[in-house]
Every structure is written in structure tokens, then in C-alpha cells.
Amino acid sequence: MKILKASWVISCDENNTIIKDGAVAFDKKIIAVATEDFIKEKYPDSKIEDLGENSVLMPGLINSHIHLEFSSNTTTLKYGNFMSWLNSVITSREKLVKNATKELIKEKLEFIKRSGTTTIGAISSYSFDLEPCFNSDLNVVYFSEVIGSKPDMIDSLFDDFKERLKSAKEKKREGFFPSIAIHSPYSVHPFLIRESLKIAKDEKMAVSTHFLESPEEFDWLHKDEGGFVEFFKNFLGQEKAVTKPMEFLNQFEGVKPLSFTHCVEASKSDLEKIKDLDAVINHCPTSNRVLNNSRLKIQNLLDLDIPFAIGTDGLSSNNSLSMFDELRNALMIHTEQNVVAFAKLLILAATKNGAKALGLNKGILEKNADADLIAISLPDEVEDEEDLCLNIILHTKEVNKTVIGGNYV
Ligand code: MCF
Ligand code: FE
């Protein structure tokens, strides 16, 4: 058993409990979370490591949506309009993906860890990120992505997807979870949606999908109009969308754990359906800002009590894979939310809700949860517990210590 003591322990539990001068006892799982005095009394013979002045101990962050295979992008892709981005992806995809070498992805994973993330939901389009993800200390929910809508390509696309999923399933280690991503309602043929969801249900795998990210996607899916019309005509010879948003959502009945990424253009009834499905929304604020000049209406989610998690998306739509950078951006763009209260919600989104999105027993410091912890230090004293989450988000760039599955990594 190991015990860490910090000035503050943020549990991210149901009641959002914060403990001043707290301590956490753990091995692979959390054993106890309490005040230092209580832990000392309970385990009088155990050594306690003090994390020092202005230290904070909290669950490791969970980046619920990331594309590592696009990690070589910095200035190549076009931002500001979804169609421009998509066309630039089509033009530069091959070069970008080739430049995202295993070494580069390994470096990014190291950075992700140093910046406080202990678990990622990695969307894999090609399996080029499989080896670095498997070899990383991080917990990885590894989503093999199914994509493609051209009828004469369906069989080969499905075979290719199954092959990638198989190679992920052959990789076995603690903290590595093969799962399934359906790219989006506009880009995946109904046959592929149905068959891949069958596999997910049979094998109880997590599922994640992009959903209603852009106004162009909304216009295409609802009305067969807008920016997608020309794109589909030119690339796929397709004139109409194959799946309406609600038809798409209806197919996810019984799938769990389940998450929908973006949902910026989702309607009230779409959101109600997502709530019904007990799914989580992966919110990627920077990606929404740079690709679409838009932002998720968080208040609608709060009103309907739909949990949201935080994802950086890939470097194809972000300048950083740090969750603290992403949390700062979220804090800055959702100006209608009170900054102090919203900081608390964001910390829960990046921990507890990320765990729900990915179906893991993490993101919370509570007896029997997985021992994934980060230790950080604030630049100066925080007097009022109320201000803690805001200050953590404003000031943290790197962590001092990371524990994953009870091990220092
Ligand atoms: O989430 C962003 C924007 N929306 C859709 N897809 C992606 C994103 N970042 C990377 N992608 C990938 C996607 O997984 O782009 C590829 C897919 O494999 C091409 S289709 C746009
Ligand atoms: Fe994405």
C-alpha cells in the first residue's frame, strides 16, 4: 500500500468532496480517501509521502476523444469552415498520416501524460497508432474506426475494419481496451453501422461516434442541402444523405458505454434521445472553434442533465493535446457560465464523466476505484476551497507525479 498526502484532495465524487490536508491510500485500487489525520490513525505503521505546500491530489484526467494519427499537423489543414477543413484533410491526409510516425506518436503520448492525462479515448482510422498506444503507460480505450459509404466498397471496408479490430484485440495488457468508433452519420453506410454495432453489443465494447458537428452536416442530413452536396457528388457520386439524425441515434439502443462527439448542431429531441441512451457527449471546444467557429450550448446539456466529457480531438483540429489547455479554452469560451462554478463542472467533466464515456471505473477518488492519480502544485496558497478548481485550471501546465493503476509512471 502507498499513501500520498496533499494540501487538497479533490475526489470528483458524487458530492464533489474536497478535503483539506487530505490523504489517499492505494494499491492497484483506491483503499481510502480521508483527512491525513484520519489516515494516520487508521494506518499508523504506514509511511506517508507528503506532496508539499500548495499541492493538489486528484484523479488523472481523461481525454475522451483524440486522433493520434493526425499528430503531424500544425499549419497544413485549413480552419474556419468545415468544408475547407474536410477538403484539406482529403488533400493532405496521406502526407500527414505518413509523417505521424510511431516515434512522433510516442512523443505525443509522453506529453499527454506529463500534462496530466492518465486515460485516452483514441480514435484510430488506420491502426498506425496501435503500437505506441499499446506500449504507453496510459490507459487507452482504443477505438477502431469504421468509415465509408460507397455501396460497392462496403465489403472491403468492413473486412478492413474487422482486420484492424482483430489486431487491436490481439494486444492484451491491463489498461488497454479495444472498442469501436463509427465515424459519423454522413460518412458510414447503414450496413456498416448495423454490423459494427452488432459486434460492439456482442463483445460489450465501448462505442463512440462523431455526431452533428457542423452546420453543413445538419443541412445535409436533414435537407440534402448545403456544403456537403458538392462534396458527396464529386467524391462519392451520392445525391442524398443515407441516414437521418434520429434514425442514426435509434440504432444505438442497448449499446453501452456510448459517447457522441461534438453534437454542436444537435436538436432538443436529439439531445433527449442521447439522454435516453444514457450516453455521454464528448465536448471538444477548441476543435469546434477552429473548424466551425462554433461552440456547444452547454446550458442545454445542463438543463437536460446530460453528462459531458472533454476531448482535445486531434492535432488536426487543435494546437495542443494537453487537457489543461483544453479546460482553459472551455473556461474562456463558455462566457455565459459563471467561471467559478463552471471550473468545478469542467474538472468533473474531465474525470468522472470521461470515465462514464469510456466505461471505466476511474475518474474518481473513492474506495475500490482504479488508482489513477495526478499530483500538481499551485503557485501560491488558495484560501477558499471554492476557488480551487478555477485556480487548478488557470495555472496547471504539467503535473509533478502520475499514478496509473497504482504505479508511479
Ligand atoms: O473530430 C475531427 C473533426 N471531425 C471528423 N473527423 C476527424 C476529426 N479529426 C480527425 N478526424 C478524422 C476521422 O476520424 O478524419 C478522418 C476520419 O478518419 C477523415 S474524414 C473527415
Ligand atoms: Fe474527432
Query: What CATH number is given to the structural domain containing 389?
Result: 2.30.40.10
- What pLDDT is stored for residue 97 in this prediction? 98
Task: Specify whether 112 is located in the same domain as 53.
Answer: no
Task: Give the residues across from 402 on adjacent strands.
Answer: 374
Q: From the alpha carbon of 314, which atom of ligand 1 is closest?
A: 9
Q: What is the CATH number of the domain that holds 350?
A: 3.20.20.140
CB 367 within 8 A of CB 31: yes
Residues 6+ apart with CB under 8 A from 159: none
Among residues 36, 213, 217, 326, the one annotated as catalytic is 213
Task: Specify whether 316 is located in the same domain as 380.
Answer: no
- What pLDDT is stored for residue 271 in this prediction? 98
Full residue range of the structural domain in which residue 65 is found: 61-358
Q: From the alpha carbon of 187, which atom of ligand 1 is closest?
A: 20
Q: Can you tell me the distance from the alpha carbon of 120 to that of 319, in angstroms, rounded to the nearest whole number?
A: 17
Task: Specify whether 206 is located in the same domain as 138.
Answer: yes
The C-alpha cell at 155 is 465489403
Task: Specify whether 163 is located in the same domain as 88.
Answer: yes
Find where cell 483514441 sits: 122
The C-alpha cell at 339 is 467561471
Gap from CA of 360 to ligand 2 centroid (Å): 20
Alpha helices in 53-116, H assignment, sequence order: 82-99, 102-114
Gap from CA of 181 to ligand 2 centroid (Å): 10
Q: End-to-end CA distance of the chain, in Å?
A: 16
- What pLDDT is stored for residue 308 in this prediction? 99
Among 251, 175, 238, 186, residue whose Cα is nearest residue 213: 186
Catalytic residue status for 213: yes
Q: From the alpha carbon of 291, which atom of ligand 1 is closest?
A: 3
User: Residues enclosing ligand 1, CB less than 6 A?
Assistant: 67, 70, 86, 89, 123, 125, 145, 147, 183, 210, 213, 287, 313-314, 316-317
pLDDT averaged per 10 residues, the chain (length 409) = 98 95 98 98 98 98 99 98 98 98 98 99 98 98 97 97 98 98 98 98 98 98 98 93 97 98 98 98 99 98 98 99 99 98 98 98 98 98 98 98 98
Task: Specify whether 259 is located in the same domain as 397.
Answer: no
Task: Specify whether 50 is located in the same domain as 94.
Answer: no
Q: Give me the interface pTM, i.e. the ipTM.
A: 0.99
- What pLDDT is stored for residue 235 in this prediction? 86
Find where cell 489517499 sits: 24
Task: Specify whether 53 is located in the same domain as 65.
Answer: no
Gap from CA of 262 to ligand 1 centroid (Å): 12
DSSP 350: I
- What pLDDT is stored for residue 361 in this prediction? 98
Task: Specify whether 110 is located in the same domain as 15.
Answer: no
What is the total count of domains within the chain?
A: 2
- What pLDDT is stored for residue 346 in this prediction? 98
Task: Specify whether 82 is located in the same domain as 154.
Answer: yes
Choose one of 342, 358, 374: the last residue of a domain. Answer: 358
Residue nearest to atom 20 of ligand 1 (CA): 86
Task: Specify whether 331 is located in the same domain as 401.
Answer: no
Q: Which of 64, 68, 72, 89 to mutate to test the pocket of ligand 1 (most atoms within 8 A of CB)?
A: 89
Task: Specify whether 44 is located in the same domain as 124.
Answer: no
- What pLDDT is stored for residue 294 in this prediction? 98
Gap from CA of 261 to ligand 1 centroid (Å): 11
Among 102, 159, 97, residue whose Cα is nearest residue 126: 97
Task: Specify whether 270 is located in the same domain as 375.
Answer: no
Q: From the alpha carbon of 69, which atom of ligand 1 is closest?
A: 10
